[in-house]
């Protein structure tokens, strides 16, 4: 198990693309559930592994960026527009989270860095008839966004505000 986890880390370090649990399971000739357990153990060791709908990857690049959390509010039909706005100004949407009155914070990693990934995310949501987290909190939710500069984050904030997505 330890050697497999070292191998998983090595593969994640050598790629810029997310690796799916299925791909990793095939590579190591184990079940996908074993990979899920390995990821939990690696995270417990403080490894910065993120899980998205496209797969797993290391989050080392985030340390080199500027980070801001935006509180937003919009209906589901505006999801794509909001995500594309963020990436158009150089942002990367790391996650979405809500503050639920009963369960506390509920978070999901997104890792959306360009228009195509934003479109694919919305298409996946529609294909699976999945409900976004924001529905739990009357459309209010948060995104952690990284960018190369504070100026980019300021532009994202201004545009979110101008389009009525930003909630103060």
Which whole number is the average pLDDT over 102-121?
Answer: 90
% of the chain at pLDDT higher than 70: 96
pTM of the model: 0.67
Query: CA 161, CA 152: separation in Å to the nearest integer?
Result: 14
Lowest mean pLDDT: which of 35-44, 59-68, 74-83, 106-115? 59-68
Mean of the per-residue pLDDT values of the chain: 87
Lowest mean pLDDT: which of 18-22, 42-46, 81-85, 100-104? 42-46
pLDDT in tens, 18-49: 889 999 999 999 998 899 888 888 877 767 78
Lowest mean pLDDT: which of 40-44, 74-78, 119-123? 40-44
> Confidence class of residue 2 from pLDDT cuts 50, 70 and 90?
confident
Q: Alpha carbon of 60 to those of 16, 105, 124: distances in Å?
A: 11, 24, 26
Structure confidence at residue 61 (pLDDT): 52
């Amino acid at each position: 198990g330890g050697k497999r986890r070292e191998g998983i880390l090595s593969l994640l370090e050598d790629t810029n693309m997310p690796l799916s649990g299925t791909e990793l399971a095939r590579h190591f000739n184990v079940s996908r559930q074993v990979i899920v357990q390995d990821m939990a153990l690696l995270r417990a060791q403080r490894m910065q592994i993120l899980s998205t709908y496209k797969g797993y990857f290391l989050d080392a690049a985030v340390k080199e960026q500027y980070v801001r959390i935006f509180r937003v509010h919009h209906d589901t039909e505006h999801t794509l527009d909001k995500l594309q706005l963020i990436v158009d100004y150089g942002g990367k949407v790391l996650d979405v989270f809500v503050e639920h009155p009963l369960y506390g914070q509920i978070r999901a990693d997104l890792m959306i860095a360009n228009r195509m990934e934003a479109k694919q995310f919305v298409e996946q949501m529609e294909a699976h008839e999945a409900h976004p987290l924001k529905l739990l909190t009357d459309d209010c939710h948060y995104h952690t966004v990284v960018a190369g500069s504070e100026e980019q984050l300021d532009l994202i904030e201004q545009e979110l505000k101008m389009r009525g997505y930003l909630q103060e």
